[in-house]
Chains A and B, each alone.
Chain A
Amino acid sequence: MQLVLEKRAERSNTIALVSPLIAIGLTIVTMSILFAVLGKNPISALGVYFIDPLTDSYSLQEIAVKATPLVMIAIGLSLCYLANVWNIGAEGQFLIGAVAGSWLAVKTQGTDAGHWVLPAMLLLGAVAGALYALIPALCKVRFGASEILVSLMLVYVADLFLDYLVRGPWRDPAGFNFPTTAEFDPVATVPVLIEGGRLHLGAVITLLVVAAAAVLLGRTIKGFEIRVVGAAPRAARFGGFNSNQLILLTFAISGALAGVAGIIEVAGPVGHLQPGISPGYGFTAIIVAFLGRLNPLGILIAGLFLALTFIGGEQAQIAMKIPLDVTKVFQGILLFYVLACDSLILYRFRLILPSRKVSSGAA
Chain B
Amino acid sequence: MGLLEAIILSVLAASTPLLIAATGELVTERAGVLNLGVEGMMIVGAACGFGGAWLTGSTVIGALCGVVAGTLLSLIFATMTLGLAVNQVATGLALTILGIGLSGLIGAGFVGEKITPAPHLYVPGLTDIPLAGRILFGEDAFIYFSLALVIGIWLFLYRTRTGLVLRAIGDNHVSAHALGYPVLRIRMFAVMFGGACAGLAGAYLPLAYTPFFIPGMTAGRGWIALALVVFSSWRPARLVAGAYLFGAVTILQLHAQGAGLGIPSQFMSALPYLATVIVLVLISRARTGGSTAPAALGAVFVPDR
Contacts and interface: CB of A to CB of B under 8 A. Distances in A.
B273 A325 contact: no
A152 B108 CA distance: 26
Interface string B215-250: 000011001001100100000000000000000000
Contacts of B291: 144
Contacts of A237: none
Interface string B83-119: 1111101110111011111111100100000000000
Interface in A148-184: 148-150, 152-154, 156-157, 160-161, 163-164, 167-168
Given A5-B85, A145-B280, A336-B76, A323 B104 contact: yes
B14 interface: no
B293 to A, nearest CB: 10
B98 A339 contact: no
A141 to B, nearest CB: 11
A112 B76 CA distance: 58
A250 B276 CA distance: 24
Interface in A112-139: 135, 139
Contacts of A208: none
Contacts of B226: 149
B302 interface: yes
A139 B281 CA distance: 6
A332 B97 contact: yes
B108 A323 contact: yes
Interface in A337-353: 339-340, 342-343, 346-347
Contact of B284 (A6, A144, A163, A330): A144
Contact of A333 (B91, B98, B103, B303): B98
Interface stretch (A219-227, A240-248, A253-261, A282-290): A282-290
Contacts of A323: 104-105, 108
A161 B270 contact: yes
B257 to A, nearest CB: 12
Given A143-B284, A148-B89, A157-B270, A328 B101 contact: yes
Contacts of A234: none
Contacts of B223: 149, 152-153
Interface residues of A, number: 50
B94 A339 contact: yes
A33 to B, nearest CB: 14
A336 B91 contact: yes
B264 interface: yes
A157 B277 CA distance: 11
Contacts of A340: 80, 84, 86
A266 interface: no
Interface string A316-333: 000000011111111111
B93 A153 contact: no
A257 to B, nearest CB: 19
Contact of A347 (B36, B85, B267): B85
B102 A329 contact: yes
Contacts of B76: 336
Contacts of B161: none
A363 interface: yes
B277 A168 contact: no
B89 A339 contact: no
B178 interface: no
A153 B276 contact: yes
B97 A339 contact: no
Contacts of A330: 101
B158 to A, nearest CB: 25
Contact of B84 (A150, A167, A347, A363): A347
B280 A149 contact: yes
Contacts of A194: none
Interface string A182-219: 00000000000000000000000000000000000000
Given A149-B227, A164-B264, A286 B284 contact: no
Contacts of A45: none
B276 A149 contact: yes
A362 to B, nearest CB: 10
B264 A331 contact: no
Contacts of A143: 281, 284-285
Nearest to B106: A325
B94 A335 contact: yes
A88 B93 contact: yes
Interface in B273-290: 273-274, 276-277, 280-281, 283-285, 287
Closest 4 CB pairs of A and B: A332-B98, A328-B101, A325-B104, A329-B101
12 contacts: A5-B83, A143-B281, A153-B274, A153-B276, A160-B266, A286-B90, A328-B97, A328-B100, A332-B100, A333-B98, A335-B94, A335-B98
Interface of A: 4-7, 86, 88, 135, 139, 143-146, 148-150, 152-154, 156-157, 160-161, 163-164, 167-168, 283, 286-287, 290, 323-333, 335-336, 339-340, 342-343, 346-347, 363
